[in-house]
C-alpha cells in the first residue's frame, strides 16, 4: 500500500533518520503495469500512415527555391544579384518546361490554336522584380530603359544586333522581351544568334504566356498587352522598339500598339531591317521617346521661269527613304507659273500614299515682290502645330538630295534637340543644315563669320558617322529650322520690319540667296544662335546644289548683276 502524503510527527527519542520521513517512490513494476497500451493492430495502421505522409512530403518538396535569406529578404537577393553581375540578369532556365495541351472545351475553335483561358506568366516576374524602384525624396528616378520586344524568332534575330550595339553604348538600359508562341529557351536563341552576355549586355525577359502554343490570336493579343503592362510597371521604358508587319505577328503588333497608347509609351515600329538603321543605337532613351512625335514639313518656293531644277528636286524627294512616314510638303507658287510645272504637279505622287500631305499655295498678287515682302512671304509660309515637335525644312529649287538625307536629319534632330545631354546646345541651335559650310552666302568674301568655340557645346559628338560643326550663318539651299525658333523669328521679323528706317542697310548676304537670309542672319546674331553643319568627310553627300539651271530669287530678278552674266562663284556644291 502506498504511504499517505501527510506530515510525519517525528519523535527525536526514537532515533529515526530524516530519510524515513520521505514518501516512498512507486516501484518500476507498478508504473509498467499502470501504462496504457495501444492495441497491436492500431499501432500498425498509424505507422503505415506516418510513413505514407513522409513519402508525400519528400516527393513534393520544391527543388527550385532560392536560399532562405533571399526568400525572406528580397532586397538582399537583389543586391546580391547586382553585385555579382552588374548588367546581366540571372541566368534563365536552360529549357522551358514541357506542358501537355490544355483541355479543349465544347465551344473552342477548330485548329491547333484553340485555348482562350486566363493569362498567366511563369517567368516574367522573376526577371522584372529585380528592377523595381523605390521612390526617393523627389519621386521615382528617371528611367533610362529601352525595351526591344518580339514574337517572331526571325524578328528577334534581326533586332538583336541593334539591341546589342545600343547596350554596348552604355547610354541606355536595354531590355529584350520574348512574347511569342515558340517554345525555345533564351539560351537557345543566344546560341543560334552567336551572342553571349559578355558581348551583348542586354537584360532578357521571358514574357511568353502559359499554353502559348495552343492559344488563339485573341488570347495572345491579351497576353502581349498584359505583359507590356508588367514591363511598364517595373521598367517604365521610354520607348518600345519592334519590327513591322512584314516581320512580326499581327496579334503581337496589335497588342503592343494598343497597350502602348494606353500607357503613353512610345512604340517605335522599325520600317526596315536594323542593318540599315544602326544609327539608332547612338540615341539615348529620351531621344527615342520623341521618335513618333517629331514632325518635319518641307517648304519649297517654285521658280518663276524654267521648272527643270524644281522637278529634279521633287524627284530626289520622292526617292528618299522616310522611315515609313513621309513628311508634309508645301510648295509656294509664283503668280505666273510655268505650265510644265503645273502639269508635273498634277501627276505627282508623293511617297507612302500621303497625297493629302501636299499643299500648293499660289500667290494672287501680280508683280515682283520687294525684299521685305518676299521675306514676310517666306516667314508666313510655315507655322508649327507644335513648336517643340514640328520643324520646317527649307529647300532651294537648285538642290538635289540624297536618298538617305532624312535618316541624317532625324538622327541629328533627335540627338541634338531631344537627348538628355542636349542641354544648352539645344537652346542655342537654330536648326540643322544639310549643305556644307564651305561656301558661305556672303556678298563680300572679306566678311568673316565668327569662329566657333566647340567647348561651349559639349553635346557635339566627334564619333558621329558624319561629324558636325557649328556656324553662325543661315542657309536656304537645304536647312531645317526648329519650330520654336521659327516662331521666335516671326516675332523678330515683325518688329524688325515695323522699325525699318529709310537709311540704307549694309547687306551681308549675297543677292544670289533669298532676301529672308539677311533677316535670318540678323536674328542669329541678335540671339546668338547657330546652325549645325555637316563636316566634310570622304564621299558622303547629303545635298548637292546645282548651277546649270540657276535662277535668281524673284525679289532680285531685275537687278543689274542678274541681267549681265551668270552669277559668279556659283558652282556645283556637294557634301
Residues 248 and 341 in one domain: no
| b (16+ CB within 10 A) / e for 382-404 | bebeeeebbbbbbbbbbbbbbee
Q: Which of 2-16, 42-56, 89-103, 249-263 has the lowest mean pLDDT?
A: 2-16
Is residue 496 within 8 Å of 428, Cβ to Cβ? no
Tell me 170's DSSP state: T
Kindly state whether residue 335 falls inside one of the protein's structural domains: yes
pLDDT band (50, 70, 90) for residue 181 = very high
Residue 572: predicted pLDDT? 44
Strand order across the beta sheet in which 390-395 lies: 358-362, 328-333, 295-301, 390-395, 478-481, 429-433, 530-534, 468-471
The mean predicted confidence, pLDDT, of the chain is: 80
| b (16+ CB within 10 A) / e for 150-161 | bbbbebbebbbb
- pLDDT tens, position by position, 454-467: 555 555 665 566 68
Phi-psi region for residue 382, left (φ > 0), alpha (ψ -120 to 50) or beta?
beta
Residues 262 and 316 in one domain: no
Residue 5: predicted pLDDT? 46
Say how far apart CA 425 and CA 416 lie, in whole Å: 7
Is residue 419 within 8 Å of 287, Cβ to Cβ? yes
Give φ, ψ of 433 to 5 degrees. Answer: -95, 145
Bridge partner residues of 173 (DSSP):
145
Residues 202 and 308 in one domain: no
Bridge partner residues of 391 (DSSP):
296
Residue 92: predicted pLDDT? 46
Residue 49: predicted pLDDT? 79
Say how far apart CA 5 and CA 335 lie, in whole Å: 133
pLDDT band (50, 70, 90) for residue 303 = confident
Say how far apart CA 526 and CA 517 lie, in whole Å: 14
Domain tally, the chain: 2
- Report the pLDDT averaged over residues 306-326: 91
The secondary structure of 342-368, three-state, reads HHHHHHCCCHHHCHHHEEEEECCCCCC
Is residue 331 within 8 Å of 302, Cβ to Cβ? yes
Kindly state whether residue 313 falls inside one of the protein's structural domains: yes
Quote the distance between the C-alpha of residue 217 and its chain's center.
Answer: 27
Residue 6 has pLDDT above 50, yes or no: no
Q: Which of 256, 287, 318 is the last residue of a domain?
A: 287
Say how far apart CA 48 and CA 388 lie, in whole Å: 79
**Which CATH number characterizes residue 549's domain?**
3.90.550.10
Q: Which of 287, 307, 335 is the last residue of a domain?
A: 287
Give φ, ψ of 413 to 5 degrees. Answer: -65, -45
Residue 284: predicted pLDDT? 96
Residue 511: predicted pLDDT? 80
Residues 271 and 340 in one domain: no
Axis crossing angle, helix 371-380 with helix 516-527, rounded to the nearest 10: 70
Kindly state whether residue 395 falls inside one of the protein's structural domains: yes
**Which CATH number characterizes residue 137's domain?**
3.40.50.620
Kindly state whether residue 73 falls inside one of the protein's structural domains: no
Residue 442: predicted pLDDT? 60
**Residue 77 is inside which H or E element, if any?**
helix 74-84
Of 488 and 7, the structure prediction assigns the larger pLDDT to: 488
Kindly state whether residue 49 falls inside one of the protein's structural domains: no
Residue 516 has pLDDT above 60, yes or no: yes
Residue 34 has pLDDT above 80, yes or no: no
Highest mean pLDDT among 20-24, 33-37, 285-289, 335-339: 285-289
Kindly state whether residue 304 falls inside one of the protein's structural domains: yes
Kindly state whether residue 535 falls inside one of the protein's structural domains: yes
Residue 504: predicted pLDDT? 54
Kindly state whether residue 357 falls inside one of the protein's structural domains: yes
Most distant CA atoms of the chain, gap in Å? 161
- pLDDT tens, position by position, 200-254: 999 999 999 999 999 999 999 999 999 999 999 999 999 999 999 999 999 999 9
Residues 254 and 328 in one domain: no
Strand order across the beta sheet in which 173-178 lies: 203-206, 173-178, 145-150, 239-243, 266-270
Residue 537: predicted pLDDT? 59
- pLDDT tens, position by position, 357-395: 899 999 888 777 888 888 999 999 999 999 999 999 999
Is residue 109 within 8 Å of 216, Cβ to Cβ? yes
Percent of the chain with pLDDT over 70: 72
Residues 349 and 428 in one domain: yes
Of 135 and 280, the structure prediction assigns the larger pLDDT to: 280
Of 376, 570, 399, 374, whose CA–CA distance to 476 is shortest?
A: 399
Is residue 201 within 8 Å of 86, Cβ to Cβ? no
Residues 466 and 511 in one domain: yes
Q: Which of 55-69, 159-173, 500-514 has the lowest mean pLDDT?
A: 55-69
Residue 42: predicted pLDDT? 73
Residues 310 and 351 in one domain: yes
Residues 281 and 307 in one domain: no
Residue 501: predicted pLDDT? 59
- pLDDT tens, position by position, 112-143: 888 998 999 999 999 999 998 766 555 566 88
Q: Which of 240, 256, 287 is the last residue of a domain?
A: 287
Is residue 274 within 8 Å of 157, Cβ to Cβ? no
Residues 324 and 446 in one domain: yes
- Residue 291: which residues within 8 A CB-CB, separation 6 or more? 239, 266, 268, 414
pLDDT band (50, 70, 90) for residue 510 = confident
Residue-range definition of the domain harbouring residue 209: 82-94+114-287
pLDDT band (50, 70, 90) for residue 1 = very low
Residues 266 and 414 in one domain: no
Of 533, 545, 519, 486, whose CA–CA distance to 297 is shortest?
A: 486
Residues 386 and 501 in one domain: yes
CA distances from 133 to 146, 231, 286, 330 (A): 16, 13, 19, 47
Is residue 251 within 8 Å of 224, Cβ to Cβ? yes
- pLDDT tens, position by position, 428-464: 999 999 998 665 666 555 445 554 545 555 556 655 6
Residue 99 has pLDDT above 90, yes or no: no
pLDDT band (50, 70, 90) for residue 294 = very high
CA distances from 58 to 64, 97, 249, 466 (A): 14, 21, 44, 66
Of 443, 502, 509, whose CA–CA distance to 475 is shortest?
A: 509
Q: Which of 137-151, 178-192, 421-435, 460-474 has the lowest mean pLDDT?
A: 460-474
Of 552, 551, 465, whose CA–CA distance to 510 is shortest?
A: 552
- pLDDT tens, position by position, 387-404: 999 999 999 999 999 999
Residue 125: predicted pLDDT? 92
Amino acid at each position: 500500500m502506498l504511504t499517505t502524503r501527510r506530515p510525519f510527527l517525528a519523535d527525536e527519542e526514537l532515533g529515526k533518520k530524516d530519510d524515513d520521513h520521505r514518501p516512498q517512490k512507486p516501484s518500476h513494476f507498478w508504473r509498467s503495469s499502470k501504462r496504457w497500451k495501444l492495441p497491436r493492430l492500431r499501432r500498425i495502421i498509424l505507422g503505415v500512415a506516418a510513413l505514407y505522409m513522409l513519402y508525400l512530403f519528400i516527393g513534393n518538396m520544391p527543388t527550385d527555391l532560392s536560399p532562405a535569406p533571399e526568400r525572406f529578404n528580397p532586397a538582399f537577393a537583389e543586391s546580391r544579384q547586382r553585385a555579382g553581375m552588374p548588367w546581366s540578369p540571372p541566368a534563365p532556365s536552360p529549357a522551358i518546361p514541357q506542358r501537355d495541351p490544355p483541355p479543349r472545351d465544347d465551344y473552342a475553335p477548330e485548329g491547333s490554336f484553340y485555348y482562350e483561358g486566363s493569362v498567366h506568366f511563369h517567368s516574367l516576374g522573376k526577371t522584372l522584380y529585380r528592377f523595381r524602384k523605390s521612390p526617393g525624396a523627389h519621386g521615382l528616378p528617371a528611367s533610362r530603359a529601352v525595351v526591344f520586344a518580339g514574337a517572331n524568332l526571325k524578328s528577334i534575330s534581326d533586332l538583336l544586333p541593334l539591341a546589342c550595339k545600343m547596350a554596348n553604348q552604355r547610354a541606355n538600359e536595354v531590355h529584350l522581351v520574348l512574347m511569342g508562341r515558340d517554345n525555345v529557351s533564351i539560351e537557345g536563341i543566344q546560341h543560334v544568334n552567336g551572342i553571349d552576355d559578355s558581348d551583348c549586355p542586354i537584360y532578357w525577359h521571358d514574357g511568353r504566356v502559359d499554353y502559348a502554343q495552343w492559344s488563339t490570336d485573341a488570347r495572345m493579343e491579351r497576353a502581349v498587352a498584359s505583359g507590356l503592362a508588367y514591363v511598364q510597371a517595373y521598367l517604365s521604358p521610354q520607348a518600345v522598339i519592334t519590327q513591322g508587319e512584314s516581320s512580326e505577328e499581327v496579334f503581337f503588333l496589335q497588342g503592343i500598339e494598343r497597350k502602348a497608347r494606353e500607357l503613353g509609351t512610345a512604340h517605335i515600329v522599325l520600317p526596315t531591317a536594323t542593318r540599315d538603321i544602326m544609327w539608332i543605337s547612338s540615341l539615348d532613351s529620351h531621344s527615342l521617346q520623341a521618335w513618333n512625335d517629331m514632325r518635319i514639313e518641307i517648304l519649297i518656293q517654285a521658280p518663276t521661269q524654267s521648272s527643270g531644277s524644281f522637278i529634279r528636286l521633287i524627284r530626289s524627294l520622292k526617292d528618299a527613304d522616310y522611315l515609313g512616314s513621309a513628311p508634309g510638303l508645301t510648295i509656294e507658287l509664283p503668280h505666273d507659273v510655268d505650265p510644265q510645272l503645273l502639269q508635273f504637279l498634277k501627276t505627282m505622287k508623293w511617297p507612302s500614299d500621303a497625297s493629302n500631305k501636299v499643299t500648293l499655295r499660289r500667290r494672287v498678287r501680280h508683280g515682283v515682290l520687294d525684299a521685305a515682302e518676299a521675306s514676310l512671304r517666306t516667314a508666313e509660309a510655315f507655322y508649327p502645330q507644335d513648336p517643340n515637335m514640328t520643324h520646317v525644312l527649307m529647300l532651294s529649287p537648285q538642290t538635289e538630295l540624297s536618298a538617305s538625307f532624312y535618316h541624317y536629319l532625324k538622327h541629328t534632330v533627335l540627338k541634338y534637340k531631344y537627348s538628355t545631354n542636349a542641354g544648352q546646345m539645344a537652346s542655342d541651335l537654330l536648326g540643322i543644315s544639310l549643305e556644307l559650310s564651305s561656301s558661305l552666302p556672303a556678298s563680300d568674301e572679306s566678311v568673316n563669320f565668327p569662329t566657333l568655340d566647340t567647348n561651349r557645346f559639349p553635346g557635339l559628338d566627334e564619333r558621329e558617322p558624319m561629324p558636325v560643326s557649328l556656324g553662325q550663318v543661315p542657309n536656304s539651299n537645304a536647312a531645317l529650322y526648329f519650330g520654336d525658333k521659327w516662331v521666335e523669328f516671326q516675332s523678330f521679323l515683325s518688329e524688325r520690319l515695323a522699325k525699318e528706317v529709310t537709311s540704307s542697310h549694309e547687306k551681308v548676304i549675297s543677292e544670289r540667296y533669298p532676301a529672308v537670309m539677311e533677316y535670318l542672319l540678323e536674328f542669329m546674331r541678335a540671339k546668338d544662335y547657330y546652325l549645325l553643319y555637316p563636316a566634310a568627310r570622304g564621299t558622303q553627300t547629303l545635298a548637292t546644289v546645282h548651277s546649270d539651271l540657276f535662277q535668281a530669287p524673284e525679289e532680285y530678278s531685275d537687278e543689274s548683276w542678274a541681267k549681265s552674266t551668270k552669277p559668279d562663284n556659283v558652282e556645283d556644291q556637294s557634301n
